[in-house]
Structure 1
Amino acid sequence: MEVISIVNRKIHSVKPESTIQEASDLMTKENIGAVLVMKDDIIRGILTEKDILKAIQKNIPLNSSVKKILHEEIIQVDPYVSVEKAAKIMIEKDIRRLPVISNGACIGIITMKDIVKSLLR
C-alpha cells in the first residue's frame, strides 16, 4: 500500500510570523498535534504540541513568533512510497508525522495514527 492511499489531504498551517498562541489555538480548534509553518506555499518548518510545551517550560512568551521554536529540518515522504517505508522513517527519526510532497508541493500529512488505522482495515 502506498502513502497516497491514506494521506490526510487537509493541511493545517500557520505563517512564520504567527504567534505561538495562534498556532496553539489552531491545534486545539482542529484537534491536531502539529501544524506546518508555511510561507509562499513552501514549508518552512513544523510545529508540534511538544514544541509548545517546551517553549512554555523555557518561559518563552506565547506572543512570540513560531519561527523561534519550529523545526526547520523537514523530514518528508513521496506519495508513492510504501506505507511500510513511511512507518520505518517515523520510527528511525522518532517522529509521528510526515508531510507528503509531490512535485515540490505539500499534498497532505501522514501520521502514525493514519498508518495504524490503515493496518486495522
Structure 2
Amino acid sequence: MKQVRELMSEDCKTVTLQDNIYEAAVIMAENDIGFVPVVDQGNGSSLIGAVTDRDLVVRGYAQKRPGSSAISEVMSDHLISTSPDTDAEEAAAIMAQHQIRRLPVVENGHLVGVIALGDLALGNTTEQNAGQALSEISEHHDQQHLH
C-alpha cells in the first residue's frame, strides 16, 4: 500500500502573507496550477492557508478587490491536511469526505508537499478510491450549482 509521501508533489509553489492577489494569480498562470499554499514568511514552510483560482475569482475579482489586495483577504485558513505517512486510500477518503481535490501534506507543522486526486489515480493501488472520490466531489459540485 502506497503512502502519500510516494505520490505527492514536493516542488510546491507557495505564497506568503506579504504577497498580493495578483502575485498569486501570476504564480498560478505561470505554473498551470489552481492551488497555492500560503506559508509563514518568518518560518518559511509553516502552512497557514491556501488560495485557489476560485478564491481569486469569488473572493477577489467578484468582490471588486484590486490585484494589490492582500492574500489574507481571499485565502482559506481552515485547511484539511494530511501527513506524508498517511496511506493513499485514506487520503482519497479524506478528499471525498471534505469535497476537496488537493490536500496539503504537513509534517511537524511544515508544508512538505501537496497531493492531488490525480496523484492518487496515478498511484494505481488507489485508482478505484480516487475515482470514487472524484465522482463524489464532482456530484457535490454539480449539485451546488443547481441550487
Counterpart in 1 of 2:118?
113
Provide the rounded CA distance (Å) in 1 between the counterparts of 2:84 and 2:38. Answer: 20
Provide the rounded CA distance (Å) in 1 between the counterparts of 2:81 and 2:103. Answer: 5
Counterpart in 2 of 1:93?
98
How many equivalent residue pairs? 120
Residue correspondence of structure 1 range 1-121 to structure 2 within 5 A = 1-39=2-40, 40-41=43-44, 42-54=46-58, 55-119=60-124
* Structure 1: unaligned runs, 5 residues or longer: none
TM-score computed with the length of structure 2 as normaliser: 0.77
Moved over 2 A (4+): none
TM-score computed with the length of structure 1 as normaliser: 0.93
SS in 1 for 2:17: coil
* Structure 2: unaligned runs, 5 residues or longer: 128-147
Provide the rounded CA distance (Å) in 2 between the counterparts of 1:77 and 1:112. Answer: 13
Larger radius of gyration: 2
Provide the rounded CA distance (Å) in 2 between the counterparts of 1:14 and 1:64. Answer: 14
Q: Which has the higher contact order (CA 8 A, sep 6+)?
A: 1
Q: Percent identity?
A: 28
- What CA RMSD, in Å, does the superposition of the two structures yield over aligned residues? 1.2
Provide the rounded CA distance (Å) in 2 between the counterparts of 1:30 and 1:114. Answer: 17
More helix by share: 2
